[in-house]
Amino acid sequence: MAAFLLSSFQAWGGASDVWRLDRNEDGIQVSSRLVEGSSVRAIRAEVDIKASFARTVALLLDASMRPRWDEICVEASVYAQVSDVEDLIYVHNALPWPVNDRDMVMRRTWAIAADGSSAQIRATAENGVLPKVAGRVRVDQADGVWTVVRTGESSVRVSTEIHVDPGGPVPAWLMNSLSVQGPYNALRNIRQLLESGDDSPGADQHARNRLQAMEGS
Over residues 103-115, the pLDDT tens digits come to 999 999 999 999 9
Mean pLDDT, the chain, rounded, equals: 87
The stretch 136-161 carries a mean pLDDT of 97
Over residues 22-41, the pLDDT tens digits come to 999 999 999 999 998 888 88
Distance in angstroms (rounded) separating the CA atoms of residues 158 and 28: 10
Tell me: pLDDT of 216 over 90: no
User: Exposed (0-12), middle (13-18) or buried (19+): which is 152, by Cβ within 10 Å?
Assistant: exposed
Instruction: Please report the pLDDT score of residue 5 as a whole number.
Output: 41
Tell me: pLDDT of 213 over 80: no
Distance in angstroms (rounded) separating the CA atoms of residues 141 and 159: 21
Residue 80 bridge partners (DSSP): 88
Instruction: Please report the pLDDT score of residue 133 as a whole number.
Output: 96
Distance in angstroms (rounded) separating the CA atoms of residues 123 and 190: 18
Over residues 186-212, the pLDDT tens digits come to 999 999 999 999 887 655 566 656 655
The residues spanned by each domain of the chain are 2-216
Over residues 46-81, the pLDDT tens digits come to 999 999 999 999 999 999 999 999 999 999 999 999
93 φ/ψ angles, rounded to the nearest 5 degrees:
-110, 130
- Specify the CATH class of 2-216 in words: alpha beta
Instruction: Please report the pLDDT score of residue 116 as a whole number.
Output: 93
Distance in angstroms (rounded) separating the CA atoms of residues 14 and 41: 10
